[in-house]
C-alpha cells in the first residue's frame, strides 16, 4: 500500500508522462481514429482526466467546481450507464472539444487533484481510487504509443514519431529450454501492492512437466516460417484464423513492408530495415499458434508462464498464451462502475503476459493479465515456445 | 475396443437410426438451410455416407466401385483440402443431388459396407475408422434433430415434426447442493472404449471447494430472471453479449412465443404452452452466464462438472460450462484428414458437457467435450449453477 | 378488350403453361433461393394462384370458400400491407407448404375460377382483373425460366433443365444501320389491348437524328471486347460499375466458363460450347454501356427504341436502354393494392425493351417497359448499339 | 470567354474565398471525415491546390519546381489512374500532411500561378484549364460549407461555425402556379460562357402543359406532412425509400431536433428554433417525392425546371427533380483525365437544379446540372412542386 506521499509522486509522474508521450505529435495526430481499436490521442488524454474528475474530485474534493459540465461527458467510456447522453458518432469523428481545450482540462484537474492531495489527509479509500486512476492512465499511455504507431504507420507518408523510442530489444544470449517439474503451484497476486481484480484470488494449479524457451521468437525465425509457406498451410491454422488470413490477405506481421526483396518494418523511428535478431512483434495469437504448430511445439498457458517467468527475461513484448481469459477461482467482481472494468471482457479473448517496450515503467508485474481478441496485432505482441 | 461383430451391429443401428429420424420429413424439409449453422437434412445424410465411402471403402474394400464419382464430392465438408472442387454456393442452395439420389447412395454404401464387414476379417485400423464413422454419424443425428427443429420452428406455419419426440424431461426431485472438496482430481478419458481425441490425455487438475446443483435451471426460474429485468441490466452481461442481445433484440430463450400473455414454446411436437418445470433450453452461454450473475453464482468449469457428475442426473440438456475449449495438456492431434477434426476449433468456443434429448443413445459419456460459440442457441442447451 | 370467352382461353392456357414449365423439375428444385432476386419455383406457383384467390375469387365469387386460410398468406408478396403477418424468414428457407400442397391449391383455385368464368357473365371490372392476373402469371413464367436457370446453373453439378428449350437465336443477316430522322414522335401504348399502367399516357417526344443497328451484339463481338481488355479499362465504366466488377471479380457475362481455353456457356440444355454468332446474354447494363463506350457508340434510349423497332427483329433478348425507369408524363398510379405495382420501383432502375426467349407468348409488345437494376444479369438480357 | 485579366481576378478571388470559409475553423475541424461523402476540409484545400499544380503548373509553367513531390499525390482524387500510389486509408484517417503544410502548399501554388498569369501571355487552352480549376475550387467551396456543417452538426456539442452565415431565406410572397404550355423547348447551355460538359449539346425537348410553383416547400408544410403520418404511409414511398427510412429510422429532415415538443434545427449559427417559413432543407429525393405523392402532385423534371426558371426566384436550395442524371443527346465526353469528371456518374443519381445558400457566387446558372444519389441529405437541398 502506497503512502499519500508516494501517491502524490505517482500521480505527478503519471500525468507528466502522458503529456511527454504526446509532445512529439502535431495537433492533427491527436484527432484521428483509423480503426475501432485505435482511439484518438486526444481522447486518451481527456478520458484519463475525466476519470479523476468523475471518481475522485466529485466524490472527495468537497466543493469541487466542474471544469465544464456540458463537455466532459464525451470522455466517458462507460457508455452503458450514461443513458441519455449516448454519443452516436465515433471518437474519431469528433473535432471538438479541441486539443487546446483538453490540455486546459488536464491542467485544471491536475491542479485540483494536487490541491486535494497536498492539503488533506485522504482516506485509504480515496487514495485507493487515485492509485487506480494512475494505473488506468498508465494503461492508456501504452495505448497512446500503439495508437500513435497505428496512426502514423498507416499514413501513406510513414512519418516518424521521434528518434528516441526503442522498439527492438536484442536478445544477445543463446536459446535454452527451462524445465519445470510437474506439481502444484500457486498462481495469483500475493503482495499488498497494487494489482487489478483479475489477478486476485491466489489459488493452486497443477502443472505437468514442461520446458519453456528463455528467448522470444525472432524476426529471423518468423521469416523461415513465411518462406516455408506457413501462411499457406491450412493444417497449421485454427478454422477462424484461416478465414481471417484469407479475408484480410495476411501474409506477414503487421508493419512489415517488402521493398526490393528486403523486409522492412515501420517503427516509431520511421521505416527501417527489419532487424532479424529482434523479437517478432505485431502478430496475432493466430499467427503465434500457427508458428508453434509448424515447429511441433505449443504456446505456454498463463500459469506455466507465471511459474517459469523468474527464469527468463521478459518485458519487451506482450506474450500470447494459450489461455482463454477467464475468472480465477473465487474471482470477485468489485462493486459499482469500476467493477465493470475487467469481468465483462472475460469471453473470446486470450491472455497475454509480460509487458512491452510501450508499457509504462512500474506498470506491469509477473501476475499481470493482459487480454486481447486473438486476431489483434496493433500492440507490441510476441511469443515464446513451450515443448 | 469393440469386436467386429459389435461393430457390425453398431454400423447397422447407426445407419438405420439416421433414416428413422428423417422418416417424418417431407422431401422439401431435406433441402433448406435457413442459417449457416443449420445444414439441410439431405446434406447430413449424404455427408455421413460419403465419409464411409471415402475413408473406408476406398481404402479397405479393394475393388470398390464408386457410386458416382462426379457427384459425391459435394458432401465433402473438408473443403480446405479439396482444392479445385471448392463449392461456392451454400448447401441450402443445392437442389441436386436429389433426396432420392441420396437414399440410393446410402443404400449402395451401406450394402457395400456390410459386404466388407461380413465377408472379411478387418484390421484393427479399419475397424477403428468404421467406429469413428459411426460416432460421426451419431453426431450428425443430433444435428438432424436440432436442424429439423430450426427449419420447422422458423417456418411461419410452425408445422410439427411428430408426436413422439419428448423434449421436456421433468426433474421431479428437490434442488440440492452437492459439495466437492478441494484437492487434485483426474480428468480425461481413461477406458479403452471409444472417445474423441480431445478427451484424451488423462491429467491432474487442482480444484477448490465448490458446490454444484443437482438440478438444471428450469423455465420457471428463467421467467423470474426475465421478469426481474435480467435482459435489460447491462451489469449482468459480457460486453460482447450486451451488443449481441441488443443487435438481435433477444429477450427470451429461442423458440419462445408470448401469446395472449402466456409463454409458449415451439417443440418438435408443435407449439405448446411452456412447461414451467422443464429445464430451460435453447439458450446461449451468454444468457446462462447472465442468469448466474443475477443469482450471485456462477457456471461450473468443465473439470468441476466432470468430477461431480456421478452425483447428479444429466443427459437432457447440453450444459454450458465456463471453460473455453482448449487442448488438454499433452493433447495430440491425430495425423491426416481426420486430425483436422477437433483441434482447429479450439479458439473462441465454450465447452458443453453432458448430452441432450437429441443425443443418440450410447453416444455421449462423462468425458465428452462438446463445444459451441457462446451465442449459439439452436442446440438443446441448458445449465446448472455452482456456488 | 378481350371477350369473356377469350379470357377463359387465356386463363386456361396461362395456368397450364406455368405447370408445363415446372414439369421438368425435381421436387427439390422448387424449394431453393440461391440469391435474393431468384424466388423458389414453388413460390411463383403459389403466388400467382394466391393472386386469383385474393383479388378475384374473394371479391367476385360470392360464397367462395378459401382453400386454406392459415397458409395462403405466405404467398402474399405485398408484404408492406400485410401488417401482423410479416414473414421473417426468406422464401428459400420455407420447406412448407409443400410442392404437393401447392399443386392442390392451384387445382382448387383454377377449378373455382373456371366455375366462376363459365357459369357467370362477369363485369368488365372482374374480367379486367382476371386479365391482369393472367399477365401477372405470364411475367412469373419468365421468372420461372430465369430462376430455374440460376438454380441449376449455379449448382456445381450443372444439371440440364431439358433438351428442348432454345436459348440461342441466330441472327443470320447482315449488320445494317437504320436511320431515324429528327422530329416529334408519339410514345406510349395506344390501342385498347391490355397494357400495364407504366406504358400509358401517350405523349410526344422530340428525337434527334440517330442510327440504330438491326442486329444485337453477338458473343463473338463481346469476346473481342474482353480480349481487348475491356473489363480492365477504367475509362469505359461508370464509377459504380467499376466498383462492382472489382468487388465481384466480374470478367465475362454470367454463365460463361472457360474450359481448356475455350469459352463455354451453361444453358438450360446444359453446358455447351459458346455459340459465337448468338446474341450475347446475361450481361448487366454496366457491361452493355462499357461495350458501347469501347465502340465509340451508345445505347438507345427507350423512345428511340420504340420508334425504330418496327424496322428490326426483336424478342430474343431483353434489350438494355440508356433510359432510367421514370413515370411517363401524366402517369397515373392505379388505386389500391394493384397500384403499388409499378410506380414504387421508379428509381435507380434502367428500362429494358423487347422480350426474350423466356417471355411467354403474346406477353410482350413494342411499348412494354421492363426494368431492372443496372447490375442484374440473371435475365436473358442483351443490347443493340446506336450511333 | 474570359480575358486573361478576368481570369486573374477570378483566380485570386477563388483562392481567397476558400481560405475565408475555413478561417472560422479550429485545426481539428480540418481533419475529420464522419461519413464517406464528407471530406475533411484540409483535403478540400489540398485537392483544389493539387489540381492547379498538376494540370496547370506542370504543363504550362515551364521550369516549375514541385512543392513536394512525395506528398502532394495524396490529394489526387483520380485514384483510378494513379496505379501504384493507391491510398488505402480513408481521407479522415490521415493526420499528415498537416494543416500548416497545406497552407504553405496553397501559398506556394497560388504565388506560382500568379507569376505565371502575370508574366506570360497564356494560350486559350491554358486559360481554359485555369478557368476550370477555379470552377472546380468553387464546387469544393460549397462542399466545404456542407461538410463543415456535417462535422459540427453531428458533434454532440453542436458547436456553431460562425454568426454570419445565413441558411434560411424567407420567401415573403404568395404561392402561385406558373403555367407553361405544351410545345418544343430548347434545353442546354447556349452562350460562350463557361459551363460543364454535361450542360452542353443544345437540344429540343417536347414538354406537355404543366404548372410549377413559384415557391419552395416550407418547413411549415413539411411538418404537416410529418404530422399527417407521411413517414409511416408505405404507399407514398418508393420501395427502396421505404427500406431506407426504416433501416435508418428516418422520420424528419436532417439536422432537426425535437426538444420539449418544439422542432429545432442545427444551423451553421448553432441550434435554433425551426424557422417555419423557411424552405425545408437537408431532405432526400425520396422525402421530396413522398411529400409530392402525399399532395397528389409531382416534382418537375429538369427540362421543365430549366424552361420555367425565369419566372420564379431560385438559388437558396438545390432543387430535386424527377430526372435521372443521364447524358444529353450528343453528349461528348472530354478527352483525358478531365473527361472522367462527369460522365462516369451518370447512373443511379438524380438531377438537382438551381443552387443553394452555400453555392459560390457566380458559380451556378440556369443550365447547371447538379446530381446526387436519391438518399443523400447533407447538401442544402429543397424542392418545388408541379401539377
The tens digit of pLDDT for each residue in A281-303 reads: 999 999 999 999 999 999 999 99
D308, D387 contact by CB (below 8 A): no
Q: What was the pLDDT predicted at B88? A: 36
pLDDT band at A75 (very low <50, low <70, confident <90, very high): confident
Burial class (CB in 10 A: 0-12, 13-18, 19+), C353: buried
pLDDT band at B69 (very low <50, low <70, confident <90, very high): confident
- Alpha-carbon distance values, A157 to A39, D27, D40 (Å): 20, 20, 18
Q: What was the pLDDT predicted at C274? A: 97
Lowest model confidence (mean pLDDT) among A362-371, B162-171, B190-199, D82-91: D82-91
Residue A82: pLDDT over 70? no
| pTM, two decimal places | 0.95
- Choose among A205, A206, A240: nearest Cβ to B347: A240
Higher pLDDT, D339 or C365: C365
Q: pLDDT (tens digit, 9 = 90+) per residue, C241-270?
A: 999 999 999 999 999 999 999 999 999 999
User: Interface pTM (ipTM) of the complex?
Assistant: 0.94
Neighbours of A16 (CB within 10 A): 11
Residue C79: pLDDT over 50? no
Q: pLDDT (tens digit, 9 = 90+) per residue, D180-203?
A: 999 999 999 999 899 999 999 999
Higher pLDDT, B345 or B99: B99
SS (H, E, C) A93-105: HCCCCCHHHHHHH
Helix (H) or strand (E) segment spanning residue A264 = strand A262-267
Angstrom distance (rounded) from CA A194 to CA C225: 71
Average pLDDT of chain A?
93
pLDDT band at B1 (very low <50, low <70, confident <90, very high): confident
Lowest model confidence (mean pLDDT) among A233-247, A325-339, B340-354, C49-63: A325-339
Helix, strand, coil fractions of chain A, as percent rounded to 5? 40, 15, 45
- Choose among A42, A96, A154: nearest Cβ to D159: A96
D8 touches chain A (CB under 8 A): no
Q: What was the pLDDT predicted at B333? A: 79
Angstrom distance (rounded) from CA D177 to CA B86: 64
Cell of B372: 459451441
Angstrom distance (rounded) from CA D147 to CA D169: 20
Cβ contact A–B (≥3 pairs, < 8 Å):
yes
Which residues numbered 139-178 in A keep a CB inside 8 Å of some CB on D? 151-152, 154-157, 159
Q: What was the pLDDT predicted at D166? A: 96
Q: Name chain A contacts of B346, Cβ cutoff 8 Å.
A: 238
pLDDT band at C85 (very low <50, low <70, confident <90, very high): very low
Q: Mean per-residue pLDDT for A87-102? A: 83
pLDDT band at D337 (very low <50, low <70, confident <90, very high): low
Residue B335: pLDDT over 90? no
Residue whose C-alpha cell reads 453479449 in the numeric block: B241
Cβ-defined contact of B327 to A326 (cutoff 8 Å):
no
φ/ψ region of B217 (left if φ > 0, alpha if ψ in -120 to 50, else beta) reads beta
Angstrom distance (rounded) from CA B88 to CA B90: 6
Residue C78: pLDDT over 90? no
Residue B79: pLDDT over 50? no
B102 touches chain C (CB under 8 A): no
Q: Mean per-residue pLDDT for C273-280? A: 97
Q: What was the pLDDT predicted at D82? A: 40
φ/ψ region of C237 (left if φ > 0, alpha if ψ in -120 to 50, else beta) reads beta
Q: Which DSSP state fits A386?
A: B
Interface test with B, best of A320, A348, A351 (most B CBs within 10 A): A348
Q: What was the pLDDT predicted at B299? A: 98
Give the distance from CA D79 to its chain's centroid.
Answer: 21
Could you tell me how many CB contacts below 8 A there are between chain B and chain C?
Answer: 107
Q: pLDDT (tens digit, 9 = 90+) per residue, C151-186?
A: 999 998 999 999 999 999 989 999 999 999 999 999
Angstrom distance (rounded) from CA A57 to CA C102: 72
Residue whose C-alpha cell reads 463537455 in the numeric block: A71
Half-sphere exposure of D151 (CA within 13 A, CB side): 29
Cell of A345: 471482457
Q: Name chain A contacts of B340, Cβ cutoff 8 Å.
A: 235
Cβ-defined contact of A241 to B347 (cutoff 8 Å):
yes
pLDDT band at B337 (very low <50, low <70, confident <90, very high): low
Tell how strand C270-273 and strand C370-372 pair up: unpaired
Residue D83: pLDDT over 80? no
Residue whose C-alpha cell reads 404568395 in the numeric block: D174
Interface test with C, best of B96, B101, B102 (most C CBs within 10 A): B96
Which residues numbered 176-205 in B keep a CB inside 8 Å of some CB on C? none
Interface test with D, best of C205, C239, C328, C346 (most D CBs within 10 A): C239
Cβ contact B–D (≥3 pairs, < 8 Å):
no
Lowest model confidence (mean pLDDT) among A62-71, A253-262, D184-193: A62-71
What are the helix (H) ranges across chain B?
4-22, 41-52, 58-60, 79-82, 99-119, 124-153, 219-227, 239-247, 285-295, 302-308, 336-343
Cβ-defined contact of D205 to C206 (cutoff 8 Å):
yes
Cβ-defined contact of B156 to C33 (cutoff 8 Å):
no
Q: Mean per-residue pLDDT for B235-259? A: 95
User: What sign does the dihedral D115-D118-D120-D122 (CA atoms) show?
Assistant: positive
φ, ψ of residue D213 to 5 degrees: the values are -75, 140
**Among A281, A313, A290, CA closest to A379:** A281
pLDDT band at C330 (very low <50, low <70, confident <90, very high): confident
Residue D228: pLDDT over 50? yes
Amino acid at each position: 500500500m502506497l503512502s499519500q506521499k508516494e501517491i502524490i509522486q505517482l500521480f505527478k509522474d503519471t500525468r507528466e508522462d502522458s503529456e511527454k508521450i504526446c509532445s512529439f505529435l502535431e495537433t492533427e495526430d491527436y484527432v484521428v481514429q483509423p480503426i475501432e481499436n485505435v482511439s484518438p490521442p486526444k481522447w486518451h488524454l481527456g478520458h484519463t482526466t475525466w476519470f479523476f474528475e468523475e471518481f475522485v474530485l466529485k466524490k472527495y474534493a468537497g466543493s469541487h467546481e466542474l471544469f465544464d459540465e456540458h463537455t466532459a461527458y464525451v470522455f466517458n467510456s462507460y457508455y452503458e450507464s450514461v443513458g441519455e447522453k449516448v454519443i452516436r458518432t465515433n471518437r474519431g469523428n469528433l473535432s471538438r472539444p479541441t486539443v487546446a481545450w483538453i490540455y486546459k482540462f488536464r491542467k485544471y484537474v491536475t491542479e485540483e487533484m494536487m490541491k486535494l492531495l497536498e492539503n488533506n489527509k485522504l482516506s485509504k479509500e480515496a487514495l485507493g481510487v487515485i492509485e487506480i486512476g494512475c494505473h488506468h492512465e498508465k494503461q492508456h499511455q501504452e495505448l497512446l504509443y500503439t495508437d500513435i504507431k497505428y496512426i502514423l504507420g498507416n499514413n501513406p507518408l510513414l512519418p516518424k514519431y521521434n528518434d528516441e523510442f526503442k522498439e527492438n530489444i536484442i536478445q544477445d544470449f543463446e536459446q535454452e529450454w527451462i524445465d519445470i517439474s510437474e506439481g502444484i503451484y500457486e498462481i495469483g497476486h500475493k503482495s499488498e501492492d497494487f494489482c487489478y481484480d483479475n489477478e486476485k484470488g491466489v489459488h493452486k494449479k497443477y502443472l505437468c512437466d514442461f520446458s519453456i524457451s528463455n528467448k522470444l521468437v525472432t524476426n529471423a525465425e518468423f521469416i523461415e516460417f513465411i518462406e516455408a509457406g506457413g501462411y499457406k498451410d491450412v493444417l497449421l491454422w485454427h478454422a477462424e484464423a484461416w478465414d481471417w488470413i484469407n479475408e484480410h490477405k495476411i501474409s506477414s506481421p503487421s508493419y512489415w513492408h517488402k521493398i526490393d526483396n528486403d523486409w522492412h518494418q515501420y517503427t516509431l523511428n520511421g521505416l527501417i530495415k527489419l532487424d532479424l535478431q529482434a523479437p517478432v512483434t505485431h502478430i496475432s495469437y493466430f499467427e503465434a499458434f500457427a508458428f508453434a504448430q509448424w515447429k511441433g511445439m505449443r504456446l505456454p498457458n498463463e500459469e506455466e508462464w507465471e511459474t517459469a517467468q523468474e527464469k527468463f527475461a521478459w518485458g519487451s513484448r506482450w506474450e500470447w498464451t494459450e489461455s482463454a481469459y477467464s475468472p480465477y477461482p473465487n474471482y470477485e467482481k468489485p462493486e459499482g462502475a469500476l467493477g465493470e472494468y475487467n469481468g465483462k471482457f472475460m469471453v473470446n479473448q486470450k491472455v497475454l503476459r509480460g509487458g512491452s517496450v510501450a508499457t509504462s515503467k512500474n506498470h506491469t508485474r509477473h501476475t499481470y493479465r493482459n487480454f486481447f481478441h486473438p486476431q489483434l496485432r496493433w500492440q507490441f505482441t510476441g511469443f515464446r515456445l513451450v515443448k
